[in-house]
A and B are shown apart, each in its own frame.
Chain A
Amino acid sequence: MIILDDVHKRYRTEHGAGKWVLRGITLDIPARCSVGLIGHNGAGKSTLLRLIGGIDQPTRGRIERRCRTSWPLGLAGGLQGSLSGRQNAKFVCRLHGDDREIVERVAYIEDFAELGEAFDDPIKTYSSGMQARLKFALSLAFEFECYLVDELTAVGDATFRVKSREAFKALAGKSMLIMVSHEERTLKDYCQSGVLLTGGQAQWFDKIDDALAAYRAAEAQAHGP
């Protein structure tokens, strides 16, 4: 379960404090619930995901994670360019503790990512698709109770997409999921509930369909008939 209590966030810009991105978000996201974060570009979806993931701190308010939460999957970063794929995989395994399982986990990551010999090459020689494969394999290697996902499903080539979608679906069925996506189909596939972000405020919908409908209505109003 994840509790957000009056979360405010603004970033520091070159001209002092910027405008508020999030202004007072209070949410209780229950365990085993899958939520889609909806909003137009710049509404603060990724910001909120980073705050929940603990990478950044809210300017005001409080966030409590009462479960093992993943890092925000799909965001930039997370791989050290000078190290090989294998070394990066070992690094992430060590971070998440339990040294005894490193061998199995690295074997799993190597197997899933299907990078072949490139697994032992430095990350900076990887294409963006190869990096995405490795990151996806990394995220599947751990059993989190809550997964944070930012536009993750659109990686790799067609076969890899099918494979990753299935693997992720199996995982998502067992755990909590907070997902940012602009694809309605993806959201409907994975999420039961939805949160609509507008003007720095959050609105909770029990059904993802209602959230999407509200989002469409708001968009239509903004752009006129």
Chain B
Amino acid sequence: MTAMRSSLDVTLSVWKALFLREAVTRLAAGRGAWVWLLLDPVAQIAFLMVIFSAIRARAGAGVDFTVFLAIGVLGYQMFRSPADRAMEAIAANAALFSYRQVKPIDAVISRCLLEGLLQILVAAVLMSGTALLGLEVLPRDPLQFGAAYALLWCFGTGLGMALSVGNVLVPEIGKIARLVFMPLYLVSGVMFSPHILPPAARDWLMLNPVMQGIEMMRVSFFSSYPPLPSLDRGYLAGCALLALFLGLALQVRYARRLVTL
């Protein structure tokens, strides 16, 4: 008989099992789930390209507009995708809570980890494709670029943890959150640079942590993209920390009510 496992051992094996379980359903569900995963950001970028070539937008000297859009779309997805998918994580795994090792928070965390990994893979494929077209795809400051990308994931994950609890306790919260994601896309600077806005509007919009993250990615990517005075490197990190804390606190507070079989 094997000895009792430590809590850490149990948690790690639960995360591994749930991660693989999520990966199977995410990638094997429906026809060509892989294709859709890639097609989604590509379609967004292509769509925005068409619109903005019609109204002749520009992102600044020495900044390629395709790459500019790609960073916006990928950055926003890195935030939205874990937040959005985490909301359903608890309901989707309810049957598995009859194993006491599996807690709701484990389902949320493993789903967010999977989304993060998938987004990185999508970004890598997309950027390699862009490189084949002869565009510059290596960031000027890879470390800061990666940090901003990772912080967007942390913010989305924290929000997802909180929303997943809210969605179980008050199902309307999920619907409202999905409604909010749409205007958030518009005010997060995915398709425009805040440089083109009047300073007053710009300062207000820069209160949005997602906008901060996307701008941080752009500044650390292009050597000729100037940082806004209101770009604060600690702001997104603070928001991400706050969201993670809030999410974990709600998960702990309502842990019992989330497991209803």
Contacts and interface: CB of A to CB of B under 8 A. Distances in A.
Interface in A73-107: 75-83, 87, 90-92, 94-98
B100 interface: yes
Contacts of A54: 100
A80 B101 CA distance: 15
Interface of B: 1-2, 4-5, 9-10, 13-14, 16-17, 20-21, 24-25, 29, 93-102, 256-257, 259, 261
A94 B24 contact: no
A71 interface: yes
Given A55-B259, A68-B1, A78-B96, A95 B9 contact: no
Interface string A5-19: 000000010000000
Instruction: Determine the main DSSP class of B at the interface with A.
Output: helix
B98 A55 contact: yes
Interface string A52-66: 011111000000000
B98 A71 contact: yes
Contacts of B96: 77-78, 80, 91
Nearest to A77: B98
Interface in A30-70: 50, 53-57, 68
Nearest to B29: A82
Given A82-B25, A83-B21, A91-B21, A98 B2 contact: yes
Nearest to B96: A80
* Most A Cβ at <10 Å: residue of B2, B25, B98: B98
B95 A79 contact: yes
Nearest to A94: B17
